[in-house]
């Protein structure tokens, strides 16, 4: 058990993503006292259970000490929780708590990427997101890692050792493996392939940021923020420094826990700002945004030709806070 104090209660934030389950536990004073990241084979309730138990153990408390749980992430509906919030809200909130004053959050996870403009109170102002195309997401780097036979944790280091002059003709994740194999067959160095692909993904991410507007300080969240080459090339493309968090992958779960704490303290303004707006927004756009099958094949990125226009298949969803509601 945690030491008893004046206010001896805890809240939990759970972020069930496409590749990992993340849990953060926050105490009554708002400090993160326990956390856990569990790698999953597929989205699973079991991974959530393990992550929750491990985080409780890390905090030295039991489930009975938790007064409120909020879930977020792709699989949030599978999590036993009191309420769900969008990743957009939770990553913004977590990043703002971990880096006060942040104005732009770039979250790149396993299957989507988002640019979130944050106001001076740490609330979502505008967001753009790509969840229709795997290019520019962690999945793309996972494919690269497999094709180059380099562990995902080392892909960034490899890219930093290479030259980024190679032309990458397709950014489609479906064809990336073939593309990489073809470059290898032409005698290209693995480091040069990795560097060129990273630079191309950074250019694509710049297109996403352009949808919400450049602002600083910039913080990256999500697992891809651990990739130092992507951070490097993205910082270069943005012409802005990117602030590093100690554990960027936990930001969404931490944000969810912070919201759970605020709600437990009676902050109904936040309680009202649930994920309905963003969910409705996404649903409204679902038909308007083309899917993979609609890709016209014009996704080629020429890494040395500057920022790449956002093409039809990766046109991001763009939203803005409306009527004072937070997305």
Among 227, 277, 303, 314, binds ligand ADP (CB under 6 A): 227
Nearer to ligand ADP, 19 or 69 (CB): 19
Q: Residue 99 has which token pair?
A: 């880096």
Answer yes or no whether residue 78 interacts with ligand ADP by CB under 6 A: no
Angle between the 138-148 and 173-185 helix axes, to the nearest 10 degrees? Answer: 30
DSSP string, 219-249: EEESGGGG-HHHHHHHHHHHTS-EEPPSSGG
Q: Rounded distance, CA 129 to CA 88, Å?
A: 9
Answer yes or no whether residue 136 interacts with ligand ADP by CB under 6 A: no
Neighbours of 267 (CB within 10 A): 13
Q: Is 268 exposed, middle or buried (0-12, 13-18, 19+ CB in 10 A)?
A: exposed
Residue 105 Cβ, how far from ligand ADP at the closest point, in Å?
13
Answer yes or no whether residue 142 interacts with ligand ADP by CB under 6 A: yes
Among 13, 34, 94, 110, binds ligand ADP (CB under 6 A): 110
Residue 127 Cβ, how far from ligand ADP at the closest point, in Å?
16
Among 101, 153, 213, 297, binds ligand ADP (CB under 6 A): 153
Three-state DSSP class for residue 168 = strand
- Residue 217's φ and ψ, nearest 5 degrees, are -65, 150
Residue whose C-beta lies closest to ligand ADP = 17
Residue 85 Cβ, how far from ligand ADP at the closest point, in Å?
14
Answer yes or no whether residue 84 interacts with ligand ADP by CB under 6 A: no
Answer yes or no whether residue 71 interacts with ligand ADP by CB under 6 A: no
Mention every residue, 6+ apart, whose C-beta is less than 8 A from residue 239: none
Answer yes or no whether residue 17 interacts with ligand ADP by CB under 6 A: yes
Q: Rounded distance, CA 211 to CA 310, Å?
A: 10
Nearer to ligand ADP, 61 or 70 (CB): 70
Q: Residue 123 has which token pair?
A: 């609330």
Residue 136 Cβ, how far from ligand ADP at the closest point, in Å?
11
Please give the residues from 249 up to 268 whose contact with ligand ADP meets the rule CB under 6 A: 249
Answer yes or no whether residue 205 interacts with ligand ADP by CB under 6 A: no
Q: Residue 39 has which token pair?
A: 């790698």
User: How far is C-alpha 291 from the chain's CA centre?
Assistant: 20
Answer yes or no whether residue 211 interacts with ligand ADP by CB under 6 A: no
List interacting residues with ligand ADP (CB under 6 A).
Answer: 17-20, 73-74, 109-111, 138-139, 141-142, 152-153, 156, 222-224, 226-227, 249
């Amino acid at each position: 058990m945690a030491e008893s104090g004046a206010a001896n209660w805890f809240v939990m934030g759970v972020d069930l993503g496409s590749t990992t389950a993340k849990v953060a536990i926050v105490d009554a004073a708002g400090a993160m006292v326990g956390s856990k990241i569990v790698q999953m084979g597929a989205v699973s309730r079991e991974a959530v259970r393990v992550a929750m138990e491990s985080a409780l153990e890390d905090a030295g408390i039991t489930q009975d000490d938790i007064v409120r749980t909020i879930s977020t992430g792709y699989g949030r509906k599978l999590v036993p929780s009191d309420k769900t919030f969008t990743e957009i809200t939770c990553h913004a909130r977590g990043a703002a708590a971990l880096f006060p004053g942040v104005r732009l959050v770039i979250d790149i996870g396993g299957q989507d990427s988002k640019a979130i403009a944050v106001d001076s109170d740490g609330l979502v102002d505008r967001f753009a997101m790509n969840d229709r195309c795997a290019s520019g997401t962690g999945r793309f780097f996972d494919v690269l890692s497999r094709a180059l036979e380099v562990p995902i944790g080392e892909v960034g280091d490899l890219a930093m050792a290479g030259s980024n002059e190679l032309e990458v003709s397709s950014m489609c994740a479906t064809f990336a493996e073939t593309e990489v194999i073809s470059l290898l067959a032409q005698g290209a160095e693995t480091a040069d392939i990795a560097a060129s692909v990273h630079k191309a993904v950074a250019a694509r991410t710049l297109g996403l940021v352009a949808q919400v507007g450049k602002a600083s300080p910039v913080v990256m969240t999500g697992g891809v923020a651990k990739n130092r080459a992507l951070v490097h090339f993205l910082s270069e493309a943005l012409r802005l420094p990117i602030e590093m968090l100690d554990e960027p992958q936990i930001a969404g779960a931490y944000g969810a826990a912070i919201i759970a704490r605020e709600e437990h303290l009676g902050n109904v303004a936040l309680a009202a700002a649930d994920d309905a707006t963003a969910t409705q927004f996404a649903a409204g756009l679902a038909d308007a945004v083309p899917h993979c099958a609609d890709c016209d094949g014009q996704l080629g990125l020429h890494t040395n030709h500057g920022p790449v226009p956002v093409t039809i298949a990766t046109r991001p969803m763009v939203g803005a806070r409306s009527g004072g509601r937070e997305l």
